Amino acid sequence: MMRTRIDDLILYDGKGGRLESASVLFDENGIVAAGRGLKDAQAETVIDGKGLTCTPGWVQGHTHIAVDGLPNMQAQVMRDDTEAAVMASAARNSLRCLKSGLVAVRDMGTNFDVSIKLRDAINAGKLLGPRVYASGRVLCMTGGHGYYFGIEVDGADEARKAARAQIKRGADLLKIMATGGGQSKGMKAGVPQLSYEEIRAIVEEAHHAGIHTAAHAQGKEGVMNCLRAGVDSIEHGVTLDDEQIELMLKQGTYFCPTLMALWYVIEKGEASGIPPYVVEKCKIQAITHFDGFTAAYKAGVKVIAGTDAGTPFNYQDDMASEFIKMHELGMSVKDVIVSATRTPAEAFGVADRTGTIEPGKWADLTLIEGDPEADLEAFRRVKMVFKGGQLVYSNENGKDVFLPVL
């Protein structure tokens, strides 16, 4: 087994620790050692890590990997009406994820269940890409948010049947549309959609199968429906208040705030081609959302970093903006890194294999130029990405170099 050693790094271990002048030693079986005093350790490849920061491989907590970030998300999803078209976009976007430091993504909805098939193609070595935690199609009510890449269910029995069907197809999680959303035409954003009973049926089936659930939920009633039903991860969670935060803490619910999704819509506005109904809905939500995020973080809610990539101007190769926004709203740099590494690994049930830099874990590593504690822009300067000990991406003097798939 060929070993790689990288020396003279700044190392963030994903547990909140930071160490200078550190080395990391690994091979394709996993991390062998990390820390100081390793410069004599035998390795076939030795890399000078001076000026670089190494963290556990970043996880995108919320993406739609087949969608590109065009001004009208719903229109793109409806235009790409063949499985081949969706798969082609997903394959290309997989490379964009790698070059922005992502070793893993949680896909929150693709047509034709493409994210499940993408995961299998990547795992089989047919395509290069990040580890994919796939929901396939979303579960929504008839005409509900995301119906254009969803399975429409009405009543607890239909919800249960669709949940079982997605589990049969190989979903790693079930994505629930609990309320209306910004990107869908013809509905209010914060109103409840799937009922408590429907959500509960989906959660039960997911938990019986040993997988987790994530719910698009905005607005008090919809979020409360999810929390009462035992949903594992609240997505967006716009207008979180003290009661909801307390319940999330009590139940250990994860929170993926997707701050940039709202931000881009408001920043770019109608002039950029974003449909007026989208801009209007997002404007109403933004202020309370940013306050709710800060309150939840300060209270100790477990935050997962995710951008909702695929929404307007929210590209697959930009994880850094979400990190910077989270920091601007009060989160420490160390906690930003934890929210993109250890916390998602815990939420996805893979924390025994990944999420931190420790011996025995997968050698999933993201290396950036500079130290984000001194310069947040360092998050944008991705230098190398290792997945399972393999160098899958490197930036060679500004040129993107990907591991060939042969």
Q: What does the binding site for Zn ion look like in residue numbers (CB under 5 A)?
A: 108, 308
User: 162 or 261, CB closer to Zn ion?
Assistant: 261
Of the candidates 337, 352, 255, 306, the residue with the CA atom closest to the CA atom of residue 56: 337
Considering beta carbons, is residue 108 or 217 the nearer one to Zn ion?
A: 108
Looking at this protein, which amino acid is placed at residue 148? Y
Report residue 307 as tokens: 């951008």
- Nearer residue to Zn ion within complex by CB, 308 or 318: 308
Spell 51-78 as b/e; 16+ CB within 10 A means b: ebbbbbbbbbbbbbbbbbbbbbbbebbe
Closest approach, Cβ 369 to Zn ion, in A, equals 30
Least Å distance between CB 62 and Zn ion?
6
Residue whose CB is less far from Zn ion, 308 or 364: 308
Provide, rounded to whole angstroms, the least separation between the CB of residue 69 and Zn ion. 12
Please state, in angstroms and rounded to a whole number, the distance separating the CA atoms of residues 104 and 72: 26
* CB of 108 or CB of 132, closer to Zn ion: 108
Q: How far is the CB of 70 from Zn ion (least distance, A)?
A: 15
Q: Of 236 and 302, which has the nearer Cβ to Zn ion?
A: 236
Instruction: Compute the least distance from the CB of residue 215 to Zn ion, in Å.
Output: 11
The least CB distance from residue 249 to Zn ion, in Å, is 24
Nearer to Zn ion, 34 or 215 (CB): 215
CB closer to Zn ion, 75 vs 403: 75
Looking at the Cβ atoms of 190 and 372, the one nearer to Zn ion is 190
Nearer to Zn ion, 55 or 258 (CB): 258
Minimum gap (Å) between residue 76 Cβ and Zn ion: 13
Least distance between Zn ion and beta carbon 405 (Å): 28
Smallest distance from Zn ion to CB 365, Å: 27
What angle, 0 to 180 degrees and rounded to 10, lies between the N-to-C axes of helices 83-99 and 114-123? 60
Minimum separation from the CB atom of position 184 to Zn ion (A): 11
